[in-house]
Structure 1
Amino acid sequence: MSVMHIADAPKDLVHGSVIITPKPEFFEEISAAFIKFGAQVEANEPDTLVFSITKSEPAPGQEGPALLVISVVFKNMAAADAHRATSYHKEFTSHSKDVDKLLCIPEMKTLTPLGGYMRQPSK
């Protein structure tokens, strides 16, 4: 099993995340839209290395809404810029009318890797 230590990853990788808090009745609709968008990214952007869509729920004993967490890793800043310049990204992010389906404004973060690792799963 191969292991890549995050500290050894190329320094020009661009990591980011978006945290979306949909109203519960819109969670499935918004999730489906991100899954469709992710398929477009995968088909057209070889330099988008990771596009992960995950559901985050409160830990046992805690309360709060389910979150949709999108994590991305781009090969470099040019790949991130190219991603934002695509017609499907512009269309997808132009849905300001859909803000009423969210509990709050999405949080966009740029991430700087500090440590950890990633394993290639065994088959």
Structure 2
Amino acid sequence: MEQETTEIQGSAPPRAVAELKDAVTDAFERLAQTGSVDRLRGYANEAIGETKLSIGLALSSPEIVLQGLAQQALGQAQRYIGEAKLAEEANIRDGVIPTDACSPPIGATDQGGAIQ
């Protein structure tokens, strides 16, 4: 990977390489914040937790059973967060929630002292 980066930097202006890196980083961050990804991670954690729970019960290992239960709970939380994000995204897309309806930042005031 480092060799590829060196080759790209050698053939492109440094500013273009930096902009490309920033764009790729931003894209990955946006992807990680979508409701679909959270929901899929939740389902995966639930499945892994169920597997650990089954193995722990079969082996009579309370430690593995607890790990399985904890991972199932984590998966459920991730799934619910993802579903909430998807619902919010759908409401914004459908115009149910206007994009300017977001709360102002804490402490944001205009010159008269009122919240903007």
TM-score range (shorter-chain normalised) is under 0.3
* Superposition TM-score, scaled by structure 2 size: 0.26
* Superposition TM-score, scaled by structure 1 size: 0.25
Structure showing the higher strand proportion among its residues: 1
Between structure 1 and structure 2, the one with the greater Rg is 2
Higher relative contact order (CA 8 A, sep 6+): 1
Structure showing the higher helix proportion among its residues: 2
